[in-house]
Amino acid sequence: MDRVDRLLALVAELRAASPEPLDPAVLAARLGVSGRTVRRDLELLSHGGLPVRSGPGRGYVLPPPPDPPPLSEVESLMGPVHGTLAEAVRTRRVVRLAYTDRAGARSFRDVEAHGLVIAPYGEYLVGWCRMRDGPRMFRLERIGAAFLSGRAAEVRDLDGLLAALRVPVPRPPAEPSPRGRAGPARARAWTLDRLEHVRSRLRDAAAEARGPAAPGRPGGGAAALRGVLGHLAEWTRWQAAAIRSAATGEEPVPAGRRPPFPPGFDREMPYHARERMIQDAMALRSLGEVARDLEEVLDSVGHWAADCDDALWEDELPDPRPYGPPGPPRPLADLLAGWRGPLAHIEWHLDRLTDEPPLPPGDDEEEVWVVDRCPLQA
């Protein structure tokens, strides 16, 4: 570990323990250095302005930063919109927005502010829109004014809102770039970076499932993961083919190693009936076979995203939905890597692998619990 990484790790350890002090010997053991090195690093950080101080005994403590002064309702109207929204998120407040949509229509709505996220084409407020009674994302450059109310946001535990908050933060460009619509190169790089992150998470999940059982994995090992990956392989295959077809105008071409399905699988049917067919077909495969199928689908997505025409990254395309008409047009990067896209769908299920499965409704009927609340069925 070089010195910069060691200093970062040292500050991270102090912040994680705050407001409790950490003994230098404990810090030295965690960082793999001597106690003398830890004390020298702390002295360097202290002289640089880090407010680290000696706690009770021989420990060191990093006090939490003080809260900024509260923003009044009048100040929220006078200050920058971003500052008002950040305060609303920090204090979990309701904020009233003057918002102009893509078509130019202005509306005034109350939003429970839950997060500020960055996507390839701009920054967004994610929250619960009380006018629409549902989770929504609001592009910051379309928010003309924001008013911080005195009302508290409700505590929500909804899958749609959690999925919205999963919009990832892209790596910053090497050189400063003007705000606004990102170029094809940045959108493509962001998507490929997200793809590699998801593939890494899948590899980690497979390695963990093949290991010994552990507390905190009540769904349990290879069997649970195989069910999830079987679901993901087929639905990711469909999503990737549908997005590529929307972009090119060509017929959908499924990638990977699709298993044989019963006649009528591709006809219109309820979500749970289709999922039962997927699980039955995938049950004949090993975990390794299902994982390789999904890996080949993602390989195909990566090759196509890396080589497709730049113009596709500049246009907005219809959002394919498995049920009902297509959704509102979105940029290609959002379709592949943003909310409701195949990569976010994979992470949604990986995040829930440790959830307790519900009890089966009967001895003769097994519940496909891992996909019971999948966002694609909506």
Among candidate residues 328, 327, 275, 299, the one with its CA nearest the CA of residue 195: 299
* Shared domain check, 88 and 56: no
Hey, what are 216's tokens? 């905190």
Using CB atoms within 10 Å of the CB of residue 221, give its burial: 0 to 12 exposed, 13 to 18 middle, 19+ buried.
middle
Confidence bin at 364 (pLDDT 50/70/90)? very low
* Shared domain check, 195 and 121: no
Hey, what are 200's tokens? 């890494």
Q: Which of 82-96, 211-225, 266-280 has the lowest mean pLDDT?
A: 211-225
**Would you say 234 and 276 are in contact if contact means Cβ atoms under 8 Å apart?**
no
How many structural domains comprise the chain?
Answer: 3
Identify the pLDDT of residue 373.
64
Residues 301-317 as b/e (b if ≥16 CB within 10 A, e otherwise) read bbebbeebeeebbeeeb
* Shared domain check, 252 and 145: no
Is 79 or 157 the better-scoring residue by pLDDT? 79
Phi and psi (nearest 5°) for 316?
Answer: -105, 135
Residues 2-26 have pLDDT tens digits of 788 888 888 888 888 888 888 888 8
Could you give the 3-state DSSP secondary structure of residue 143? strand
Phi and psi (nearest 5°) for 283?
Answer: -65, -20
Q: Which of 112-126, 138-152, 300-314, 340-354 has the lowest mean pLDDT?
A: 112-126
Residues 20-70 have pLDDT tens digits of 888 888 888 888 888 888 888 888 888 888 888 876 566 888 887 776 677
The mean predicted confidence, pLDDT, of the chain is 79
CA distance 235 to 350: 14
**Would you say 96 and 146 are in contact if contact means Cβ atoms under 8 Å apart?**
yes
CA-to-CA dists, residue 65 to 4, 18, 51, 225, 334, angstroms: 22, 10, 9, 41, 35
CATH number at residue 56: 1.10.10.10
Q: What residue type is 238 in one-letter code?
A: W
The reply to whether 25 falls in a domain is: yes
The reply to whether 67 falls in a domain is: no
- Cite the beta strand spans of the chain per DSSP E: 53-54, 60-61, 93-100, 106-119, 122-129, 134-139, 143-152, 316-319, 327-331
* Shared domain check, 210 and 329: yes
* Shared domain check, 29 and 156: no
